A = this chain, B = another copy of it.
Amino acid sequence: MPSDTVIPIEIDLITALEDRGLRKTATRSTIVARIETANDAFTAEQLCRDLPGVGRATVYRTIRHLVDAGALCKLPILDGAPMYSIARVEHHHHTICSKCGTIGEFRDSTVERVMRSLGKEIDGDIVGHRMEIFITCNRCLGISKSGASIA
């Protein structure tokens, strides 16, 4: 059962923008390329730093467009700027490594089932939910086990 052929759900961010009637511009392609190649959660300011030629306003605007399009998740960080990651699945939740901040995604049907059953206990109508699991990621576990430091 060779499963080397992983088929990623390829999401073309620039297409997501065009689908919303937005023009395909050089600047947007630059921003989107950075997001897609790094393929990791990021903050708006990180993007600004990585793309010195691009104005901050445009970075923030483009991110907002992508979030509105549902192509990016916006994840609140308790003590800092929100992080963004490409939305690979319709509805999902996030893991956040408390050590290094790395963000992962997961789906779990039991979580959704519990949500539905909570409807009876909760006052009002449930319109959505959010959930984050804080972890120590495998890499950080490895680091702490070996006692080695990266920085």
Contact = CB atoms under 8 A, between A and B. Distances in A.
Interface stretch (A28-36, A39-47, A53-61, A123-131): A123-131
B134 A131 contact: no
A97 interface: yes
A135 B131 contact: no
* Copies of this chain, tallied across the complex: 2
Contacts of A122: 95, 106, 133, 135
A31 B133 CA distance: 33
Given A74-B78, A134-B128, A114 B123 contact: no
Interface size class of A (residues with CB under 8 A): 35 or more
A132 B42 CA distance: 22
Chain A residues touching B, majority SS: strand
A76 B77 CA distance: 7
Contacts of A129: 131-134
A124 B110 contact: no
A25 interface: no
Contacts of A106: 121-122
Given A77-B76, A106-B122, A108-B118, A132 B134 contact: no
Given A125-B136, A129-B132, 13 more contacts: A95-B122, A95-B124, A106-B122, A110-B117, A110-B118, A111-B114, A111-B118, A122-B135, A124-B137, A124-B138, A125-B135, A130-B131, A131-B132
